[in-house]
């Protein structure tokens, strides 16, 4: 097979591939057998029709086309590897020559596809990131204590207008052009939560039980999501939180401690841990931001536009240009981050294990309230495992890169993030254990897929699905279809 690459622009190439008939022969033999099973020709049993008779009665071009359709995905992948490109999205393939058809001796096809652009990252060892200090104040402790008290609070009805923090039992009706779109009744909502409709907090504040008011808001779900509606809200009951007193009895009820002082000291430690975790999050975000500013590269517009079209079609909003622009911006930024982290993963030589993929999938299952076995099964059957592995690899690439940069607080003191980002030694041990497990598995019987217990975190369920997937190449590559 011979292939040539033509750069159409910085993010799109055209592959021209020539495949001799000898390379196509296995697919051609299978095509003749399939056609022989499908046709009925007098004098021949089904499946026993010779190729020359099939050529005469059916046409060699038909058989050749079937053989090409079978071989094309593999030939395209081979050409991509030979060319050393990183395809993104669906290629546009055109067959320009069929062996034995139109005087062509070889199979010739072209494939235009978006590719990952050249991305150069800065030297990680020269990067310094500054994060907040881990300084726990008495105010931080009081905040933690108040949060704990709220968990044990009781709701008491009040005869006054609603205020911030109150719990209101309410009825809502949304109308657009005097047509009722949606309504709910008897819903409990805490003023200030901000998790329902924009403007609801302001509408409820100052409202007494039994009173009704209206306000305008954009709907956040359903067929009319994003559309402005007139919302009528009635407050039927208003309650306030009554917090328990802070004493030793409360400390014993709400914790494992006997006194308030012991409880506060525990809350101080808890607040410090939260701040250290926030340091790790800050470092991660600042590193990604730094890399994005340092690495300027073009984004494959074809991939972006395909996603915008797919997104709008899925929502039935093909003509919504304003929403399309929002999706375009979001898709562009998401793709920029993905491409950047893929290159970072290669630069820091990220390696992941089955347990890391399994943990990510279990967390995903919890997030979407799915059965983890069902998620794993669907991902395997629908070819989504590479996407999960790619996401795990991207996440780990940032943690691995943070080991190479310098992280300091506002005083200039270095910050140790090992508890959050791991270490090279831990990765080496994990890789050695994985290799040992692979050797043991090869020597023993195959492990069957078993049910996953979310509480116990059984890691056998994904082994079969994850095993054998290459995490080295994170580019999501679609199979070609012949035009």
Q: Supply the pLDDT for residue 354.
A: 86
Is the per-residue pLDDT at 178 higher than 80? Answer: yes
- Phi/psi at 62 (nearest 5 deg)? -65, -45
Q: Which of 99-108, 346-355, 414-423 has the lowest mean pLDDT?
A: 99-108
Is the per-residue pLDDT at 44 higher than 70? Answer: yes
Convert the pLDDT of each residue in 304-337 to its tens digit: 999 999 999 998 889 999 999 999 999 999 999 9
Q: Supply the pLDDT for residue 455.
A: 42
CA-to-CA separations, 304 to 105, 261, 310, 312, 322, in angstroms, rounded: 38, 57, 10, 12, 16
Distance in angstroms between the alpha carbons of the first and the last residue of the chain: 21
The H or E element that residue 357 is part of is: helix 354-367
Is the per-residue pLDDT at 471 higher than 60? Answer: no
Please report which confidence band the pLDDT of residue 433 belongs to, taking 50, 70 and 90 as the band edges.
Answer: confident
Is the per-residue pLDDT at 477 higher than 70? Answer: no
Convert the pLDDT of each residue in 49-72 to its tens digit: 898 998 888 888 889 999 999 999
Is the per-residue pLDDT at 450 higher than 50? Answer: no
CA-to-CA separations, 300 to 43, 44, 317, in angstroms, rounded: 57, 54, 23
Contacts 24+ apart (CB under 8 A), 257-263: 263/145
Q: How many residues does the chain have?
A: 483
Q: What is the mean pLDDT of residues 70-79?
A: 94
Q: Supply the pLDDT for residue 66.
A: 92
Please report which confidence band the pLDDT of residue 480 belongs to, taking 50, 70 and 90 as the band edges.
Answer: low
Please report which confidence band the pLDDT of residue 437 belongs to, taking 50, 70 and 90 as the band edges.
Answer: confident
DSSP assignment letter at 193:
-
% helix, strand, coil for the chain, step of 5? 45, 20, 35
Q: Supply the pLDDT for residue 475.
A: 45
Q: Is 457 left (phi over 0), alpha (psi -120 to 50) or beta?
A: left
Percent of the chain with pLDDT over 90: 70
Of residues 449 and 236, which shows the higher confidence score?
236
Q: Supply the pLDDT for residue 175.
A: 95
pTM assigned to the model? 0.73
């Amino acid at each position: 097979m011979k292939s040539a690459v033509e750069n159409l622009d910085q993010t799109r190439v055209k592959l021209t591939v020539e495949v001799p008939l000898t390379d196509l022969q296995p697919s051609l033999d299978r095509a003749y057998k399939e056609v022989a099973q499908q046709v009925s020709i007098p004098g021949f049993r089904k499946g026993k029709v010779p190729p020359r008779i099939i050529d005469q009665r059916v046409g060699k071009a038909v058989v050749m086309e079937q053989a090409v359709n079978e071989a094309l995905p593999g030939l395209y992948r081979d050409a991509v590897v030979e060319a050393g490109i990183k395809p993104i999205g669906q290629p546009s393939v055109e067959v320009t020559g069929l062996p034995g058809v139109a005087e062509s001796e070889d199979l010739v096809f072209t494939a235009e596809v978006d590719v990952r652009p050249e991305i150069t990252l800065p030297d990680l060892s020269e990067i310094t990131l500054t994060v907040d200090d881990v300084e726990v104040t008495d105010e931080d402790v009081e905040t933690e204590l108040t949060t704990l008290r709220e968990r044990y609070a009781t709701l008491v009805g009040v005869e006054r207008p609603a205020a911030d923090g109150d719990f209101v039992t309410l009825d809502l009706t949304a109308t657009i052009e005097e047509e009722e779109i949606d309504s709910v009744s008897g819903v409990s909502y805490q003023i200030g939560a901000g998790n329902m409709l924009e403007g609801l907090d302001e509408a409820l504040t100052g409202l007494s039980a039994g009173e009704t008011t209206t306000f305008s808001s954009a709907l956040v779900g359903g067929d009319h999501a994003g559309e402005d509606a007139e919302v009528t809200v009635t407050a039927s009951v208003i309650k306030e939180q009554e917090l328990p007193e802070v004493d030793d009895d409360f400390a014993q009820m709400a914790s494992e401690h006997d006194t308030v002082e012991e409880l506060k000291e525990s809350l101080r430690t808890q607040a410090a841990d939260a701040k250290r975790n926030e340091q790790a999050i800050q470092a991660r975000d600042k590193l990604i931001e730094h890399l994005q500013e340092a690495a300027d590269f073009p984004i494959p517009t074809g991939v972006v536009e395909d996603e915008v079209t797919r997104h709008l079609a899925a929502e039935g909003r093909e003509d919504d240009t304003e929403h399309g622009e929002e999706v375009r911006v979001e898709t562009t930024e998401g793709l920029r981050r993905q491409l950047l982290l893929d290159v970072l993963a290669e630069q820091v030589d990220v390696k992941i294990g089955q347990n890391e993929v399994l943990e990510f999938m279990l967390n995903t299952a919890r997030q979407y309230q799915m059965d983890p076995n069902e998620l794993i099964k669907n991902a395997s059957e629908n070819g989504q495992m590479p996407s999960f592995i790619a996401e795990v690899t991207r996440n780990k690439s940032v943690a691995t890169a943070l080991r190479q940069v310098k992280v300091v607080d506002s005083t200039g003191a270095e910050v140790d993030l090992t508890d959050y980002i791991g270490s090279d030694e831990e990765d080496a041990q994990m890789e050695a254990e994985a290799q040992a497990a692979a050797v043991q598995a090869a020597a023993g019987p195959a492990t069957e897929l078993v049910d996953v217990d979310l509480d116990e975190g059984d890691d056998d369920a994904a082994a079969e699905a994850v095993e054998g997937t290459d995490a080295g190449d994170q580019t999501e590559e679609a199979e070609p279809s012949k035009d």
